[in-house]
């Protein structure tokens, strides 16, 4: 009887000594550490026709990436959000007889709607701040190059367009912590935006 049991026990013992095989982990996303709180600084340079509050972990620099017409677009800036690799690109144009409000709004809409091919959805939300500035905040869902875009104007003299970009391939899931954090900064910027030129 032991002659039959011992070989079976030996086979069970050998089989149980095999190393554990761990399946590979599914792909994950890199960790994004956002600041603990939202803090802001004032952008108010005398040569610019606008002022606003922007994130304290950012720097504002004259646009040399998007701005090809440096003379006519002297008030274009980029807000570089350090630690999150984000850029809020801001373009400014005065409302004139050649550049009417309707033309500027249509142009901004075309830029915003350009991302619809990669988008899963497209929403717009109007706003008016305490300083007489009104506009629209656009939210583009899906893997588009720019999740948040906005326009702001006094409908008479000043028109601004902004868009949030990241220095990485667009992936809505991996960028969600950063975009959810930065959209509050964009909303704060819009609520503190003022025009310096008299209406």
Q: What is the pLDDT of residues 149-169, one digit of tens each?
A: 899 999 899 999 999 888 766
At 83, is the pLDDT very low, low, confident or very high (cuts 50, 70, 90)? Answer: confident
Decide if 174 is inside a domain: yes
Its domain, for residue 66, covers: 41-195
Decide if 11 is inside a domain: no
State residue 42's pLDDT score.
Answer: 96
Decide if 1 is inside a domain: no
Name the pTM for this structure. 0.75
Decide if 126 is inside a domain: yes
Q: Distance (Å, rounded) from C-alpha 199 to C-alpha 193?
A: 14
Q: Regarding beta strands 50-55 and 40-43, do their DSSP bridges make them parallel or antiparallel, or are they unpaired? A: antiparallel
State residue 148's pLDDT score.
Answer: 86
State residue 18's pLDDT score.
Answer: 60
Decide if 68 is inside a domain: yes
Alpha helix segments (H runs only) across 88-150? 101-113
Between the alpha carbon of residue 140 and those of residues 54, 110, 120, 124, 163, the distances in Å are 22, 13, 8, 9, 11
Decide if 23 is inside a domain: no
The CATH number of residue 171's host domain is 3.40.1000
Decide if 32 is inside a domain: no
Structural domains of the chain, count:
1
Digit-coded pLDDT (tens) for 182-199: 889 999 999 999 998 654
Decide if 28 is inside a domain: no
Alpha helix segments (H runs only) across the chain? 2-16, 101-113, 172-192
State residue 79's pLDDT score.
Answer: 94
Digit-coded pLDDT (tens) for 107-140: 877 766 655 555 566 788 899 999 999 999 988 7
List b or e across 81-119, with b for residues whose CB sees 16 or more CB atoms inside 10 angstroms: beebebbbbbbbbebeeeeebeebbebbbebbeebeeeb
């Amino acid at each position: 009887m032991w002659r039959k049991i011992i070989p079976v026990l030996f086979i069970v013992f050998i089989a149980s000594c095999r190393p554990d095989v761990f399946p590979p982990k599914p792909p994950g996303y890199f960790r994004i550490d956002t600041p603990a709180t939202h803090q802001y600084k004032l952008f108010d340079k005398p040569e610019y026709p606008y002022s606003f509050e922007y994130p304290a972990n950012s720097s504002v620099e004259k646009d040399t990436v998007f701005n090809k017409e440096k003379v006519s677009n002297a008030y274009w800036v980029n807000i570089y959000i350090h630690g999150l690799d984000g850029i809020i690109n801001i373009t400014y144009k005065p409302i004139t007889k050649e550049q009417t409000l309707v033309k500027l709004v249509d142009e901004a809409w075309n830029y915003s709607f350009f991302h619809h091919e990669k988008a899963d959805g497209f929403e717009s939300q109007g706003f008016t701040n305490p300083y007489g500035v009104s506009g629209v905040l656009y939210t583009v869902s899906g893997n588009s190059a720019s999740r948040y875009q906005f326009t702001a104007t006094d409908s008479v003299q000043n028109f601004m367009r902004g868009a949030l970009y990241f220095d990485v391939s667009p992936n809505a899931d991996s960028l969600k912590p950063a975009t959810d954090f930065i959209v509050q900064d964009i909303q704060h910027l819009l609520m503190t935006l003022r025009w310096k030129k008299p209406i």
